[in-house]
Chain A
Amino acid sequence: MHKNENNNQYKQEHSLRMSVLVMEKLEVQKRSPTPKAYFVLRNVLMWSLAIFTLVFGALSISGILFRLSNIGSILPDPLRFSHVIDVFRLFPLFWVVVFGLFVYVAYLEIRQTKQGYKYDLSWIVGAMFIMSTLLGIFLYYLGVGFILDKVASRYVPFSSDIEMIQKNQWFSPEKGFLVGQVIQAKDEQEVFVLRDPDGVLWEVLFSEALTDAEKDIIREGRTVGLQGMISENDKYMFIVCKIRSVEIQGRGRFVLPVSHVQSIIEIKTGTSSERNYLKLRTNVCEGVRPL
């Protein structure tokens, strides 16, 4: 009982003295309010970091879009594209992970702002996703995704850029796959010149298996993927049975100009015996596209 009374007395005295104690402590320790500029700057810094992070998120979106938009351009035959490692290389996993990280970091930064705690995680992630995607689409059309793909392939382990994957998938003439840029073509001639990724020039002859739509794909400057076979008569002559446009999408304004070498190459349209040989060998495309 006596102890309780003492406690109550202590509490009352102490309660009365709290403001005095606080003021004394403020005086003795020479405490003063932190300047407003500090809090304003901190808030600005956090929002700036969030915006900066959003831009990085947008960059990763442009990288994702670049990969996804080119999947069709680099698969000559889905059946050949069955290795796990190839799927890993093609899927923009790196950019998806980077994007996820940046969204999370932006969320943490926004939470640190003055009113940031009022936003739900889903709201912030949704807003970040929409804004990053819109900005990312814009950057993709500028060709930033293409540049990032090149840069990432240098520094990210087990990664290859799209052009390298395309080359690996399409460039195998002895197996009937050829890829490259059309550097010379004339409408009336069933032959064109193609430069492969190693810079070698190929004379490509149309087979009878080709459709008109495929023939229309052949335009100077275009990148095309061909299926067919190397001519028995010339190791740099290719008989084409299937043509696909495999233009790399999303190069934007960074696209490399087409090198015209028309003046230094004279297209050999093939001797009449060669053309006859092709027509006679109607089964030349049997393995690729039966007539």
Chain B
Amino acid sequence: METTPTHSSISAHTDEDLALLSLTDKQNFVGLVDRYEAKLRRYIRRLGKFSTEDEDDLLQNIFIKTYQNLNAFDTSLKFSSWVYRIAHNETISYMRHRTARPEGHAGYVTDEEFNNLASDLDIHKEVELKEIRGAVLHALESLDKKYQDILVLKYFEYKSYEEISDILLIPPGTVAVRLSRAKEQMRKIMNNKGYTHA
């Protein structure tokens, strides 16, 4: 007789363990959905603007795709990188069908996340960060998509170079180059808007 995993038994396992256990008992997948729903919802909101219904559809598709591809999960990767990769690809694919890429980011960035980005851009310390929040986020939205993706993952999702490489399927060296260029472009835009940097 099949036993349903309890909440405590699920929480005792790592994501990677749960992914492998889900192959033998589907109920273990519940733990992964619960752990990643909020994170992925926040992430897809940063990639584009969706209605709540669209977000739900998208999230369901992401989790179903994740479940169907569990055997493709490379245990040398973090599960979070892998599920973010699926989320990223599904969201991009979803947006392609809508043709236009709606604006995201601005409404879904906490003060801490914003400060993380702004301080790394060396935006002048005398300027109140709150004052320029809109300008920074607007500058972010005006960047090329490939640069936006890197900045979002690095500063808002706190991913390492290695994780970003695994999520976006690009070499770690390319992550470093794109990140550097993205920051350079951001600084230029901010300079043009009259915000000096240190």
Chain A residues engaging chain B, CB cutoff 8 angstroms: 7, 10-11, 14-15, 18-19, 21-23, 25-26, 29, 31-36, 38-39, 111, 114-115, 117-120, 123
Contacts and interface: CB of A to CB of B under 8 A. Distances in A.
Interface stretch (B64-72, B119-127, B147-155, B178-186): B64-72
Nearest to A112: B169
A26 B64 contact: yes
Given A18-B56, A18-B59, A118-B165, A26 B33 contact: no
Interface in B140-164: none
B74 A23 contact: no
B71 A36 contact: yes
Contacts of A32: 68
B74 A19 contact: no
7 contacts: A22-B60, A25-B64, A26-B26, A33-B71, A34-B71, A39-B72, A120-B173
Contact of A119 (B26, B64, B171): B171
Size bracket, chain B contacts: 20 to 34
A15 B38 contact: yes
A33 B172 contact: no
A18 B34 CA distance: 8
Contact of A33 (B59, B69, B165): B69
B132 interface: no
Interface of B: 22-23, 26-27, 29-30, 33-34, 37-38, 52, 56, 59-60, 63-64, 67-72, 74, 165, 169-174
Contacts of B74: 114-115
Contacts of B27: 23
Given A31-B64, A31-B68, A23 B56 contact: no
A17 to B, nearest CB: 9
Contact of A118 (B33, B56, B68, B172): B172
In the A-B complex, list the 5 residue pairs whose CB atoms are closest, starting with the nearest. Answer: A19-B33, A117-B169, A36-B71, A39-B72, A33-B70
B151 to A, nearest CB: 20
Nearest to A37: B71
Contacts of B22: 33
A10 B30 CA distance: 21
Contacts of A119: 171
Contact of A19 (B23, B37, B173, B174): B37
A120 B67 contact: no
Contacts of B169: 111, 117
Given A26-B26, A117-B171, A34 B72 contact: yes
Contact of B37 (A18, A25, A111): A18
Contacts of A29: 64
B69 A34 contact: yes
Nearest to B174: A120
Contacts of A120: 171, 173-174
B150 to A, nearest CB: 15
